[in-house]
Amino acid sequence: GAALSQKFKELKGMGKKKKVAIVGGGLSGLACAKYLVDAGHEPIVLEGRDVLGGKVSAWQDKDGDWIETGLHIFFGAYPNMMNLFAELDIEDRLQWKVHKMIFAMQELPGEFTTFDFMKGIPAPLNFGLAILLNQKMLSLPEKLQTAPPLIPMLIEGQDFIDAQDELSVLDFMRKYGMPERINEEVFISMAKALDFIDPDKLSMTVVLTAMNRFLNETDGLQMAFLDGNQPDRLCAPMADHVKAGGGEVRMKARLKEFVLNDDGSVKCLKMTNGEEIVADEYVSAVPVDVMKRLLPKKWSNMPFFHQIQNLEGIPVINIHLWFDRKLQNVDHLCFSRSPLLSVYADMSTTCKEYYDEEKSMLELVFAPCSPLAGGNTNWIAKSNQEIVDATMKELERLFPLEIGPGSPDGVGAKLLKHAVVKTPRSVYAAIPGRNKYRPSQATPISNFTLAGDWTSQKFLGSMEGAVLGGKLAAEVVTDKAIYGGPTKGIKKIVPDVVKEANAM
């Protein structure tokens, strides 16, 4: 992380200054622009919506309350994100929580159990110890049976991890004889938190990648909440940095199509308002589903671009519930371990800007939301009221004394209002066998580069992955300006796709 940031600064002034048009003002597009400015180039970010941030965007309702696209957690093991905060001098905006993980107990409504990370114990021992010391989730024999299959990961590293991509989490567990209960106790909540998906659908590579990233750093799993809404607290400082460095950030600037030269390179961007934007270099930082739609015909049969047809976004729903009183006070993220929900937090406690001493505002991630992700119900197509009603039913188990018939007055906390945000296509669905189709940032098109959390980078579809994807795209553009081409080459063209394409 830090080394690449440094590289941009060192290369500033070398090579020709490039005007770079970046499509998409999510974290990846903004990060790309930020580092291009640092390297002395002139980016222009073109965001289609009237708000920056994409999947971290947020807006206010008529009462001034913030509605977020997603409940977002930052981890200690997000090196590029942490560098970014430091470089923008906004580190104080991360509200770090006590180093532990909190899980709702499945059979004991209202009770929680924790993995506690002890100070002074280095990784990965601190994680092993946190699990061993937890008496409520797994028995000792179960814990001991979990460890051996994970050892090759610590020894062989990324090669072993990548090789498990064809297996689902459940396949992997069965192959290595891990007890099924580990699935119920740990992997369901992990899979839903990592990719909004059930473990029988999720690639084992995702779980291993997360473990490898998180467990190798002592504070890797420590969590932070941003102190307020992401557009103001994170996107604005990124945009300000870009503008101060001579770049531009436009909103309500939506790409309609890439206009090509005869040789297949980009001639200009045709925007929906008819404007044509000409630049030296072009970067796409849109989600994979949008990229598939925008792909020019001329590119779509090239093996490099053809492979992205194998990727698609997974649906997820983010719910906000405002209550008339304060619920049980937990200043942290909770893993609900309930069938319909993933993680949740009481934002009136965890987040400075949403702080309220008297009333709770729960933000909850609803997953899985469609049969692609697990379960039989296509929740993403249901009405907001149906989704809220189902959520309230699950909350009766998580807050048995405060919500629903179990509470002292038989009714409990009153729901004042709700907001439901559906994202039908969010991060790429990390189902088995997908990782190999994630393309490099460098493409076979001379003046076109890819960014976005779904491009090839060693973090998953996450904020860290988005920032790293944008940073790697900025590196490709910077290297081209100096050396005439990317220094890292165009990788990840899958052999079977190449064969298929050559046969066409």
**439 lies in the site for ligand FAD, by CB under 6 A:** no
Q: Which of 197, 235, 290, 395: binder of ligand FAD (CB under 6 A)? A: 290
Residues 6+ apart with CB under 8 A from 247: 33, 36, 37, 41, 42, 43, 44, 45
Structure tokens at 366: 């609803």
In the bound state with ligand FAD, the residue whose beta carbon lies nearer, of 48 and 79, is 48
Q: Residue 31 Cβ, how far from ligand FAD at the closest point, in Å?
A: 8
Q: Residue 170 Cβ, how far from ligand FAD at the closest point, in Å?
A: 23
**429 lies in the site for ligand FAD, by CB under 6 A:** no
**316 lies in the site for ligand FAD, by CB under 6 A:** yes
Nearest to 39 by CA among 16, 1, 9: 9
Alpha carbons 365 and 319: distance in angstroms, whole number:
6
Q: Residue 200 Cβ, how far from ligand FAD at the closest point, in Å?
A: 21
Q: Which of 7, 12, 19, 49: binder of ligand FAD (CB under 6 A)? A: 49
Answer for the pair 230, 56: CB distance below 8 angstroms, yes or no.
Answer: yes
Residue type, 330: V
**73 lies in the site for ligand FAD, by CB under 6 A:** yes
Q: Which helix (H) or strand (E) holds 96?
A: strand 94-96
Alpha carbons 265 and 72: distance in angstroms, whole number:
37
Conformation bin of residue 175: beta by default, left when phi > 0, alpha when psi is -120 to 50: alpha
Q: Which of 228, 287, 303, 439: binder of ligand FAD (CB under 6 A)? A: 287
Q: Which of 11, 33, 44, 56: binder of ligand FAD (CB under 6 A)? A: 56
Alpha carbons 277 and 299: distance in angstroms, whole number:
20
Q: Residue 26 Cβ, how far from ligand FAD at the closest point, in Å?
A: 2
Alpha carbons 173 and 287: distance in angstroms, whole number:
31
Residues 6+ apart with CB under 8 A from 480: 281, 486
Please work out the total of residues on this chain that contact ligand FAD, with binding judged by CB under 6 A: 39
The residue range among 2-10, 298-306, 324-332, 423-431 that interacts with ligand FAD, by the rule CB under 6 A, is 423-431
Answer for the pair 325, 360: CB distance below 8 angstroms, yes or no.
Answer: yes
**69 lies in the site for ligand FAD, by CB under 6 A:** yes
**47 lies in the site for ligand FAD, by CB under 6 A:** yes
In the bound state with ligand FAD, the residue whose beta carbon lies nearer, of 285 and 321, is 285
**Cα angle vertex 29, ends 202, 497, to 5°?**
50
The residue range among 153-161, 163-171, 179-187, 281-289 that interacts with ligand FAD, by the rule CB under 6 A, is 281-289
**332 lies in the site for ligand FAD, by CB under 6 A:** no
In the bound state with ligand FAD, the residue whose beta carbon lies nearer, of 146 and 349, is 349
Residues forming contacts to ligand FAD in the complex (CB under 6 A) are 23-29, 46-49, 54-56, 69-73, 254-255, 285-287, 290, 316, 318, 365, 423, 426-427, 452-453, 461-466
